[in-house]
Amino acid sequence: MPAEGTPGPESGPPQPPESSCNNAVQRLACHWRKDCDGELIGEWTMRDSGSTDPCNLVPVVEKRLGPSHFDRLVHRLDERPSARPHPIPAAETQRSGDSAINLHLRAAGSSFFWAMQLIPFRRREAMYALYAFCREVDDIADGDVSRSLKQKLLSDWRTEISLLYAGRPRHAVTHALSDAVQAYGLRCDDFMAIIDGMEMDARADLRAPSLVELDLYCERVAVAVGCLSVRIFGEETPTGERVAAELGRALQLTNILRDLTEDGRRNRLYLPRELLQAHGIFSITPSWVLAQPSLPGVCRDLAMLAEQNYSAAAEAISACPCRKMRPAAVMLGVYRALLRELLARGWTHLDDPVRIPGWRKLALVLRHGLVGR
């Protein structure tokens, strides 16, 4: 029997939602599916195929999974374009927007995928659109084109964000963001700050920035993303802003410590000048710095700064409603575990990969996602 409040075949399909598109005729069809408990779930989608018959559906069969199964599952999820059960091919703008977002989501890690399953569908779609925007501008900053072209393309994105807030988005990604901007009060300044951070990479290769400059960089490329994210999660309080500030810095420092070799190939070095000089390293040439025997000491010092941010972020998350902070708690748990794996490996052999096994990642998702802490 379907759960109370769950539409079943005897009660008829759920009422179709009103269309938000005035200029296009959309075909609505009710699609039924069964969850692992055999409960019927009906949902309206704009698809060309006919409605599904709930009487012909077979429940998902549960089976026991071991660590190796979890690893394969997570690997497959890394290849998934989206968690949405059915793409919605409505008007052409909707189709191109979905394609652009799905293309970027293929590059999203499984920790992001699992964290986003903990929020309602509409908020999840807003996070996917935000992620796609971040990938768009990040790909410009990391691209192989000239610096002048990078700055021109980022300037175009400034114009596009301005048009978004004027109610006239043109790009597929900003079309996807338009509902989220209205629904969750997303701030224009945060989007502009993200572009500011990308311009720091586009104008010149950052090499051994000061601690102040590194903090500014983190504030733009990570904290601003966090500020938009916590609003999508539904936490608009000063405590939510503190979660964004502390967790954003922690995640970015962890990424820096993980990606030293990759950044070095781009002639970038994000390790702060003060820490380098404290360990007797005065060069800012990435390849030379990464070969120094005192490099592990620099990285451990930066890891300690990241750990302080994780602790402060955990404290701030505990002061927020747990149901709103589940995705943030998951990201904190997974990336904090990654930082500890980096500390265990050290920074003598930078080519040795650091990876959290899939079964452990799922355990972290369950631990932090269920309690929101």
Domain span at 149: 91-203
CATH number where 295 lies = 1.10.600.10
Average pLDDT, the chain: 80
Is 348 contained in some domain?
A: no
| Residues 35 and 3 sit within 8 Å (Cβ to Cβ) | no
pLDDT class for 367, splitting at 50, 70, 90? confident
- Please tell me whether residues 48 and 116 are part of one structural domain: no
- The partner residues of 29 in beta bridges, in order of sequence, read 45
Angle at 326 between CA 137 and CA 309, to 5 degrees: 65
Q: What is the total count of domains within the chain? A: 3
- List phi, psi (to 5°) of 8: -125, 180
Is 82 contained in some domain?
A: no
Flag whether pLDDT at 87 surpasses 80. no
- Please tell me whether residues 174 and 229 are part of one structural domain: no
Global model pTM greater than 0.85 = no
Is 194 contained in some domain?
A: yes
- Please tell me whether residues 227 and 199 are part of one structural domain: no
- Please tell me whether residues 113 and 189 are part of one structural domain: yes
- Please tell me whether residues 101 and 50 are part of one structural domain: no
Is 231 contained in some domain?
A: yes
Task: Return the pLDDT at 84.
Answer: 35
| Residues 235 and 185 sit within 8 Å (Cβ to Cβ) | no
- Please tell me whether residues 231 and 325 are part of one structural domain: yes
What pLDDT digit, counting tens, does each position of 229-249 carry?
999 999 999 999 999 999 999
What pLDDT digit, counting tens, does each position of 97-136 carry?
455 555 545 445 556 777 788 889 999 999 999 999 999 9
Is 351 contained in some domain?
A: no
- Please tell me whether residues 195 and 260 are part of one structural domain: no
User: Assign residue 267 a region: left if phi > 0, alpha if psi is -120 to 50, beta otherwise?
Assistant: left
Is 299 contained in some domain?
A: yes
Is 237 contained in some domain?
A: yes
- Please tell me whether residues 318 and 279 are part of one structural domain: yes
- Please tell me whether residues 199 and 127 are part of one structural domain: yes
Is 301 contained in some domain?
A: yes
